[in-house]
Structures are given as C-alpha cells and as structure tokens.
Amino acid sequence: MVDKSKGDSVATLDAAAAHTPVLLERCLELLAPVAQNDGSVIIDATLGMGGHTEGILERFPKVTVLGIDRDPQAIEMASRRLMRFGDRFQPYHTTYDQIPAVAATHGTAIHGILLDAGVSSLQLDEVERGFSYARDAHLDMRMNPTEGISAAELIAEATPAELTRILRTYGEEPNAGRIVKAILNSREHTPIESTQQLVDLIREALPAAAMRTGGNPAKRTFQALRIAVNSELDILASTVPAALETLSLGGRMVVESYHSLEDRIVKRAFSAGLNNSAPPDLPIIPEEYQPYLKALTKGAEKADQQEREHNPRSASVRLRAVEKIRNHNPISQVSRSNK
C-alpha cells in the first residue's frame, strides 16, 4: 500500500526548495549588519515557504529567526524545510501585526524585520486555494482557510456599494461599476462559487477596449477581493509602525511590496520616522523632534533585468529599508500631530 501522505509531503518540500525568494541577495545584504552578530534575532514576518528564512539562516550562523505566517500550511511546510536549523528557527502561526506579541513571547531584542507583503507563491500555486484567475477552483482566497469568509461568500453577501468600493479601492478597477452590475445580475439566480465563473463574468462585463490592454482582465478584481477577504491593507497599516517600535536601536526593517497600495502604506510609515516632526516655526530642532529612522534605500528599489528574468514574480516588487537610529515616543508624536 502506498503512503500517499508521505509522497505529498516530499512533493511539497520539493516545491518549497524550488521556490526562488524575491530579491534574496539584496535582503541579505541589507540585514547583514544586524544578522551576523552573536545573539541576533530576525523576524521573518511573512514566512511563506521559508525561502528568505533559509537564506538568512544559511548566510548568518549566529542568527535566530522567528517566522510568522497566518497560513497553517506555510507554517507546516517551512517548519519541515527548516528543521535542520534546530531552535535557530521558531515558527509562529499568526498575522504579522502581532510582531510585538511574538517579540515579547521570545523575550529578547529584535535586531531585524523582513516583511515580504502580498500573496505568497504557495497560495498562488495551490490551485484549490482559489487565488489564481488562470486555473479553475473554488473561489476561496483566504490566507488562513480556517478563519473568516471566503471570496465566494463575500461576493454573495456584500452590498452593491461595498463591492464597488472594494473593486475601486483595492483593485483600482476603472470598470468596477460594470463588473459589480454583472455580479449582482448573476448572483440573483446562480451562486458565484468558482474562479472560472468569476473570470467569465468579468470578460462578458468589460468593454472590448479594456480586454486589449493590461494583461488578464480579471487581475484587478481578483486582487481586490483577495485584499478584502484577508484585510491585507488594514493589517499592513497597523503592522509597520508597530514593527518599527519593536526594533532595537540600530535594528533594520526591510519591506517588499508588490503594488502601489502596499508601497504607499510602507512609504508613509517610513516617512514619518525619516523626517523631523517639529513645528515649522522652530529655529532649532530639539532632539525629540529629530528623525528616528535612516533610509537604507533610495526610494523604492526594483528588481533588475537579471532578477526579473530569473524570477518573474519579482517584476512588480518595490523594496524599502530603514535603520532605527534612535528611540522615540510615538504617543507624544501622535498627540503633537493631532493638535
């Protein structure tokens, strides 16, 4: 009798090993000053299949990595892949806005944080997860399939106004009205439960001109639904400031974003620490108003041609990194900004 579960485990590990992390060498370069010291601790806030963490653990033999992921399958896969590193790798099944809680549980200073935002290769490649518009599956899209409502349930239950807001805000879809009208007409008599159903509906709803440019016409709608189902932008917006507070003095944070909505959140959070917060009429800037972050990248870095050819999923990446150069009081900073 064949042990199918064992075969599936091997196949899963093979798939993980074959996965190429986006901008791995650049991330390692940026984290090197804090990762190579005795007792250094790095948080990989988006563990996924463990590619970035594996690179960190291999390159820096003195580092411990705390890996966070909301996807139980990712935690299981990465834990098997990284078993050879022993207690230098410790997994945490939670969302990355829980970075402060993870750091507190571990009980030591955090010297570096890596956050590779967006949907993971694992979720895209697992057809049955329903993230991809290229292959038919149940319309799920939950990063943690044990919590929350699926994309199919969202489509079935959301009001027309809410659906329109989701597509316009999270997908920047110019034809949101047409697509929502088609969804409403369809769901009155047939539940929209598969990715192919939704793709076909979108194709029928869009004008011919929209079909000729911008890649797959369903791309924006699928992105919007995925973001809404997983509360991605809300979680990211609360994560970055909290993560920066968690860093020890001299610590570094590296963030990879994959669309303008994510990058805008990261840029705004970093900018708050990269610029002084003093009132404009002060002749001398007191220490408490001085920037507490130093930029390690010039704006948002993109993958070069070689990286894009080697790893097509790096085509849309935007990488930003900062170093924490002094401690500050975010409460007083907020109170000043509200005056």
pLDDT score for 118: 74
Name the residue among 239, 226, 262 with its Cα closest to residue 149. 226
Give the mean pLDDT of 94-102.
Answer: 95
Provide the pLDDT for residue 5.
38
Do 4-116+233-337 and 126-230 come out as alike in CATH topology? Answer: no
Mean pLDDT over residues 121-126, rounded? Answer: 64
Q: In this predicted structure, what is the pLDDT of residue 217?
A: 87
- Percentage of residues in the chain having pLDDT higher than 70: 83
Structure confidence at residue 8 as a pLDDT band (50, 70, 90): very low
Give the mean model confidence (pLDDT) for residues 239-263: 96
Phi-psi label, residue 130: left if phi above 0, alpha if psi -120 to 50, beta otherwise: left
CATH for the stretch 126-230: 1.10.150.170
pLDDT given for residue 4 in this prediction: 38
The pLDDT-based confidence of 128 (bands split at 50, 70, 90) is low
Closest CA to 167 of 205, 209, 122: 205
Averaged over 160-179, what is the pLDDT? 96
Binding-site residue ranges for S-adenosyl-L-methionine: 50-52, 69, 96, 116, 123
Mean pLDDT for 22-34 is: 96
Q: What's the pLDDT band for 269 if we cut at 50, 70, 90?
A: very high
Mean pLDDT score across all residues of the chain = 87
Considering 12-26, 211-225, 325-339, the range whose residues carry the highest mean pLDDT is: 211-225
- pLDDT above 90 coverage of the chain, percent: 68
pTM of the model: 0.87
| Dihedral angle over CA of 77, 82, 87, 89, nearest 10 | -80
Q: Where are the domains of the chain?
A: 4-116+233-337, 126-230
**43: helix, strand or coil:** strand
Q: Extract the annotated binding site.
A: 50-52, 69, 96, 116, 123
- Answer yes or no: is pLDDT of 336 > 80: no
Q: Who wins on pLDDT, 335 or 300? A: 300
Average pLDDT of 204-230?
Answer: 85
What digits encode the pLDDT tens for the residues 317-333? 999 999 999 987 654 44
Q: Which pLDDT does position 120 carry in this prediction?
A: 66
Query: Residues near 329 by Cβ (< 8 Å), separated by ≥ 6?
Result: 288
> Hey, is 114 helix, strand or coil?
strand
CATH of the structural domain 4-116+233-337, one choice from 3.40.50.150, 3.90.180.10, 3.40.50.300, 3.60.15.10: 3.40.50.150
More confident residue, 44 or 18: 44
pLDDT score, position 334: 43
Query: Which pLDDT belongs to residue 290?
Result: 80
For residue 163, is pLDDT > 70?
yes
